[in-house]
Amino acid sequence: MNIKPLADRVLISPTPAEEVTAAGIIIPDTAKEKPLRGTVVATGNGTKDEEMVVKAGDEVLFGKYAGSEIELDGTKYLIMRQSDVLAVLEK
Amino acid sequence: MNIKPLADRVLISPTPAEEVTAAGIIIPDTAKEKPLRGTVVATGNGTKDEEMVVKAGDEVLFGKYAGSEIELDGTKYLIMRQSDVLAVLEK
Amino acid sequence: MNIKPLADRVLISPTPAEEVTAAGIIIPDTAKEKPLRGTVVATGNGTKDEEMVVKAGDEVLFGKYAGSEIELDGTKYLIMRQSDVLAVLEK
Amino acid sequence: MNIKPLADRVLISPTPAEEVTAAGIIIPDTAKEKPLRGTVVATGNGTKDEEMVVKAGDEVLFGKYAGSEIELDGTKYLIMRQSDVLAVLEK
Amino acid sequence: MNIKPLADRVLISPTPAEEVTAAGIIIPDTAKEKPLRGTVVATGNGTKDEEMVVKAGDEVLFGKYAGSEIELDGTKYLIMRQSDVLAVLEK
Amino acid sequence: MNIKPLADRVLISPTPAEEVTAAGIIIPDTAKEKPLRGTVVATGNGTKDEEMVVKAGDEVLFGKYAGSEIELDGTKYLIMRQSDVLAVLEK
Amino acid sequence: MNIKPLADRVLISPTPAEEVTAAGIIIPDTAKEKPLRGTVVATGNGTKDEEMVVKAGDEVLFGKYAGSEIELDGTKYLIMRQSDVLAVLEK
């Protein structure tokens, strides 16, 4: 069973905190909102106001409080609007 | 007697919490808003800003506090805007 | 003397709570906003952003806190925007 | 001296509470916002977003807290936006 | 030296409270926002959303808390958006 | 080194309070927001919604809390949106 | 690995406070929001409402609380919308 996000939403598999450090991205300890990292699993079809630019497989950064958490077959995911995605990590 | 939702609203029969676990979706115990699951029973005709993409029979995820509760002939339903539906579950 | 609602407003004769139960719609006892039921008596002509789809005679559901209450010749009515109407009951 | 309302505003001579009861409209004693009644004295020319549909002479209903109060030559008036007018009373 | 208001703003010379009473406009003693009176001294050129309809010399009514106060060569003025002007007084 | 404001922002060199009094503009002592005075040093190129009408050299009035303060080579400036500028002083 | 900001966001390498003073920009000690300085590292492709005008290499000023902080390979960055950038410093 797959989850197909609606409209301009994306389904993201969040990267565990350890992996993040290993990859060189350290979430600093400040009062600012800290962006987190994950991999896009599925995207909606976009809306007339928001064309989809992220795609499945993209590694992305997003704010700490972005999206809603769900768990499918034992795996945790986040579902959020594309506008809550801050950046794509390019290799 | 049937309920015909107005504009961009959808009528949803919520899936009881037990069934959700059985299907592999477990609502995690965090501070984040937890999406719930249900089956679309009826939809409105959409508006010029919001075309309907969910249809009767779709299994959908939605936020915990989305919509209004009603009860028709002993069955409980939720009525909410399509924009409150997060994703469609595809089999 | 008749009341002609302005713009996208509708005048509704609310169904007393007893009748609602008899018809099979029971307002559940939860923290969620509870939709109520009534019959449309008159509608405005709509606006360029909101075309009128409900019409006099329609049985409709609406949120508990929707609209303003008025009393004409001893009968109580509610006047609200069409966007506050959640659904039409079809027989 | 006359008052010419600007844009989409209307100048209303409010009907005293006694008269309202005599005409059969009784303001019910509930927590809901109570609409009041008056006669339109003058209207603005409208805006491109709001065409004027009420006209001088119309008896109208409006919310209790709508508009600003002014007094001209000893007579009290209310000045409000047309969108604060709920309905026109037709004879 | 002159003050040229920007965009859809108007510069108003407020009428002292005594004069207002003499002219027959008495600010009533209620909880509602009380409109005040003044003479337009200068206007901006308008915006594409707000065409200027008031002009220098117009006597206008405006809300008590509308605009900012300035003093030029010993005279006090108010500068506010045209949308804060409620009505023009016609003689 | 120069500061080029972005979009619809303007860079303003605020006029010291003493000078303001000398020029005949006295900031009155009331509860209302008090506009201040300054000289435009640089402007952005505008946006499609906000065409620039103030230009370098213009003396302008603006609200007391408008904009952000910066200091370049020992001189203090304010940077604000053009819509926070109330009026231009014409000589 | 590079960070590609989404939509109208820019990735900024903030200038340390010492450098700022050396360059002649001193953040004054007032209650107003204090703009800070940095160098643009990467930008998004813009949106239909917001065309990108800043580019990699630009030195920019931005508000103290603008954006989210991230750290990549030991270097701290800020990611913010272009509309949070106040001005470009021209040499």
Instruction: Please report the DSSP string for C27-57 in residue order.
Output: ---SSSPPEEEEEEEEE----SS------TT
Record: contact E9-F89, CB cut-off 8 A = no
Chain C CA closest to residue B9: C86
Residue E31, SS3 per DSSP: coil
Report which of C57, C55, C59, C62 is spatially closest to residue C83, judged by C-alpha positions: C62
Assess whether pLDDT exceeds 90 at residue F24: no
Q: How far is the CA of C26 from the CAs of A66, B10, B74, C30, C36, in angstroms?
A: 36, 19, 8, 12, 10
d(Cα F7, Cα F3) in Å, to the nearest integer?
Answer: 13
For range F28-36, the mean pLDDT = 57
G28-46 pLDDT, tens digit each:
544 455 578 999 999 999 9
Q: Is the pLDDT of residue A20 over 90?
A: no
Lowest mean pLDDT among C60-69, D16-25, D51-60, E24-33: E24-33
What are the angstrom distances between the C-alpha of G86 and each of A75, B90, D74, G36?
42, 46, 53, 10
Query: Contact F82/E3, CB-based, under 8 Å?
Result: no
Helices (H) and strands (E) in chain C, counts: 1, 7
Q: Which of E8, E48, E68, E79 to substitute to test the interface with F, most F CBs within 10 Å?
A: E68
Decide if E84 contacts E67 (C-beta within 8 A): yes
Enter the DSSP assignment of F82.
G
* D44 contact residues in E (CB cutoff 8 A): 87
Amino acid C31: pLDDT = 44
The SS3 of residue B24 is: coil
The secondary structure of chain D in percent helix, strand, coil, rounded to multiples of 5, reads: 10, 45, 45
Integer angstrom CA distances of residue C79 from C5, C43, F60: 8, 9, 48
CB contact under 8 A, F89 and E7: no
Amino acid found at G57: G
- Whether residue D31 is predicted with pLDDT greater than 50 in this model: the reply is no
User: Minimal Cα–Cα distance from C27 to chain B, Å?
Assistant: 6
In which element (H, E) is residue C17 found?
helix C17-22
The 10s digit of each residue's pLDDT in G49-81 is 899 999 999 999 998 889 998 887 788 899 999
Burial of A54 (0-12, 13-18, 19+ CB in 10 A): middle
pTM for the structure as a whole: 0.79
DSSP symbols for chain A? -EEEE-TTEEEEEEPPHHHHHHTTB----SSSPPEEEEEEEEE----SS------TT-EEEEETT-SEEEEETTEEEEEEEGGGEEEEEE-
Q: Greater confidence, A55 or A29?
A: A55
Q: Provide the pLDDT confidence category of residue F60 given band limits of 50, 70 and 90.
A: very high
pLDDT band at C23 (very low <50, low <70, confident <90, very high): low
Does the beta carbon of D25 lie under 8 angstroms from any beta carbon of chain C? yes
**Cα separation of B60 and E64, whole Å?**
51
With an 8 Å Cβ cutoff, is D31 touching chain E?
no
CA of residue D37 relative to chain centroid, distance: 7
| Subunits in contact with chain G (3 or more CB pairs closer than 8 Å) | A, F
- Residues C7/C83, Cβ–Cβ less than 8 Å: no
Pairing of strands F75-81, F68-72: antiparallel
Given pLDDT bands bounded at 50, 70 and 90, which one contains residue B74? confident
The verdict on B2 touching C (C-beta cutoff 8 Å) is: yes
pLDDT at site G39:
97
3-class DSSP assignment, residue D86:
strand
CA–CA distance, A60 with G1 (Å, rounded to integer) = 12
Interface chains of chain C (3 or more CB pairs under 8 Å): B, D
In the predicted structure, residue F17 carries a pLDDT above the cut 70 = no
Q: Dump strand ranges (E) for E1-91.
A: 2-5, 9-14, 35-43, 59-63, 68-72, 75-81, 85-90
CATH topology of domain C9-88: 10 Kd Chaperonin, Protein Cpn10; Chain O (2.30.33)
Q: Tell me: the pLDDT tens digits for D32-69? A: 455 789 999 999 999 988 999 999 999 999 988 899 98
How many interface pairs between C and D have CB atoms less than 8 angstroms apart? 65
Strands annotated E in F1-91:
2-5, 9-14, 35-43, 59-63, 68-72, 75-81, 85-90
pLDDT in the model for residue C65: 86
More confident residue, A14 or E17: A14
Question: Sorting pLDDT into bands at 50, 70 and 90, what band is B71?
Answer: confident
3-state secondary structure D35-67: EEEEEEEEECCCCCCCCCCCCCCCEEEEECCCC
Residues in chain E: 91
CB distance G87 to F3 below 8 Å: yes
Q: Is G30 helix (H, G, I), strand (E, B) or coil?
A: coil
Tell me how close the Cα of C71 comes to any Cα of chain D, in angstroms: 5
Chain D contacts of E87, Cβ < 8 Å?
3-6, 9, 11, 44, 79
Encoded tokens for G26? 């001193």
Q: Of F32, F53, F90, which is closest to E69 when you measure between CB atoms?
A: F32
Spatial distance between the Cα atoms of B32 and B30, rounded to a whole number of angstroms:
5
Decide if B76 and C28 are in contact by the 8 Å CB cutoff.
yes
Cβ-defined contact of A79 to B90 (cutoff 8 Å): no
Cβ-contact A85, A60 below 8 angstroms: yes
Average pLDDT over residues A19-44: 68
CA distance F57 to A10: 49
Whose tokens are 């019959």? That residue is: C39
Please count the other Cβ atoms lying within 10 Å of the Cβ belonging to residue D83.
Answer: 14
**Distance from CA of residue G85 to its chain's centroid?**
6
Please indicate if any CB of chain D lies within 8 Å of the CB of E91: yes
What is the residue extent of each domain of chain D?
9-88
Predicted local distance difference test score (pLDDT) of residue F31: 44
Task: Write down the pLDDT at residue F23.
Answer: 55
| pLDDT tens-digit series, residues C35-85 | 789 999 999 999 988 999 999 999 999 988 899 988 877 888 999 999 999
- CB burial of E1-29 (b: ≥16 within 10 Å; e: otherwise) equals eebbbbbbbbbbebbeeeebeeeebebee
Could you tell me which of G27, G29, G13 has the C-alpha nearest to residue G67? G13
Q: What is the pLDDT of residue D72?
A: 79
ipTM over 0.90: no
3-state helix, strand, coil in chain G (%, to 5): 10, 45, 45
Best mutation target among G30, G40, G86, G89 (most F Cβ atoms within 10 Å) is G86
Q: Which amino acid is residue F14, in one-letter code?
A: P
Q: Would you call F64 an interface residue with chain G, using a CB distance cutoff of 8 Å?
A: no
Give the side-chain half-sphere CA count within 13 A for A42: 17
Which of D28, D54, D87 is opposite residue C11, by nearest beta carbon? D87
Work out the average pLDDT over E38-56.
95
The closest alpha carbon to B81, from B91, B69, B67, belongs to B67
